[in-house]
Structure 1
Amino acid sequence: MIKACSRYFLYILNHKLNVLVECWKEGLYIQGIIHDFSKFSSTEFFPYAKKFYSGMPLNDDDELKWKYAWLRHQRKNKHHWEYWVINPNTKEALPIPKRYIIEMVCDWRSFSRSWGRKVKESTLNLTDKIVIHPETKRELETIMTNKFQKSAEGEAKSFH
């Protein structure tokens, strides 16, 4: 389990670094630093390490601990859209403040940085698959559209 914990710890640090880079581009300095601190809590850390880095299947008790850890993570971190859901059955959610929408996008972009892929608009356009307030959906789509327009303009300039 020590190996699983050390591998997971390194994963968290790498993820936090990638999110930090993305958040700093947006001027979200403090959010970039404190992003996902809850992953270091024992209630999240050990179940995640065991599930993703132990190389062994989880028993029912460990699987339940991981589900609780994931739920806790979503409910502790405002950059997760799940944090703002009131009723998933009726798709009722509160509007997400813009800084958390941007942090959410930074989190999504960080995964592309981690895997060495270029982020595509279709990769991040999840607004029809997640439960968010209509106002948040409009804001998220605006942010996404602006990001990809700037990205396309930057690529076009690099070819001249």
Structure 2
Amino acid sequence: MKFHPIKHFITITKHRNEVIRLCFKAGIGFQGLFHDLSKYSPSEFIPGAKYYLGNQSPNNGERFDKGYSFAWMHHKGRNKHHFEFWYDYEMETKKLVPITMPDRYIKEMFCDRVAASKTYNRANYTQESPLLYLTQSTAREKMTETTYRKLLYLLKMLAEKGEAETLAFMRNTAVLPEAQ
């Protein structure tokens, strides 16, 4: 396994810069400025450079090697735009359950997913890429129905109407609608 600190730095910075650009256009620019800063911490950066893959998250490389990703666990616990952050124990059942995300973090999650699709898919990116990534994943069963449907609404809008119209809609909408 080769250590790729420069390539990893370039990839995460390219991704972060795209998220910042999208967040500003979506009306949450200040939030975008703080997006994914934990990726530059030793707990995330060192494994990211060690397990750098180029075409997908280095967290997957760490999972292939160890069976889990400590960097991911560190990341999701510090970044509210990940639905995995929004889990808590239900008092009655004592089970870990998803909590509906506030709209501002759903907007950032949208920007993050679009930027990740652009970063990792490069020339194969289309406006449908983030929607396909969501619908082909198991994320729906891990988020609340409300969180899922709000994200789905935005990703469908992106696929059908494009980036500029979707970001303008996000900028001008305080409460996100849900996909039916």
Calculate the TM-score normalised by the size of structure 2. 0.67
Distance 1:23 1:128 in 2: 24
1:86-97 matches, within 5 Å, as 86=88, 92-97=97-102
Residues 23 and 29 in structure 1, CA contact (< 8 A), matched pair in contact too: yes
The 5-angstrom pairing of residues 72-83 of structure 1 reads: 72-83=74-85
Match for 1:96: what amino acid? M
Task: Indicate the RMSD between aligned Cα atoms, in angstroms.
Answer: 3.3
Q: Kindly indicate whether the alpha-carbon contact (under 8 Å) linking 1:95 and 1:133 is maintained by their aligned counterparts in 2.
A: yes
CA gap of 1:92–1:3, structure 2 versus 1, over 3 A, is: closer
**1:1-160 alignment to 2 at 5 Å?**
4-52=4-52, 63-64=65-66, 67-86=69-88, 92-114=97-119, 115-116=122-123, 117-120=125-128, 122-126=131-135, 129-130=138-139, 131-151=142-162
How far the C-alpha of 1:3 sits from its partner, in A, is: 6.4
Paired amino acid for 1:142: Y
Gaps of 5+ in 1: 54-59, 155-160
| C-alpha distance in 2 between matches for 1:15 and 1:101 | 17
Percent identity for Structure 1 against Structure 2 = 29
- Tell me the number of residue pairs that the alignment of Structure 1 and Structure 2 aligns: 146
- Name the stretch that deviates more: 37-46 or 12-21: 12-21
SS of equivalent to 1:76: coil
For 1:158, the equivalent position in structure 2 comes to: none
Seen in structure 2, the aligned counterparts of structure 1 residues 48 and 2 have a Cα distance that, compared at 3 Å, is same
Greater alpha carbon shift after TM alignment, 135-144 vs 145-154: 145-154
What one-letter code is carried by the residue in structure 2 that aligns with 1:12?
I
Task: Return closer, same or farther for 1:98/1:153 CA change in 2, 3 Å cut-off.
Answer: closer
Moved over 6 A (4+): none
Task: Give the distance between the partners of 1:99 and 1:153, measured in 2 at CA.
Answer: 18
Larger radius of gyration: 1
Deviation at 1:44, TM superposition (A): 0.8
Q: How far 1:141 moved relative to its partner?
A: 2.4
Distance 2:137 2:46 in 1: 33
Query: Counting helix residues as a fraction of each chain, which structure ranks higher?
Result: 1
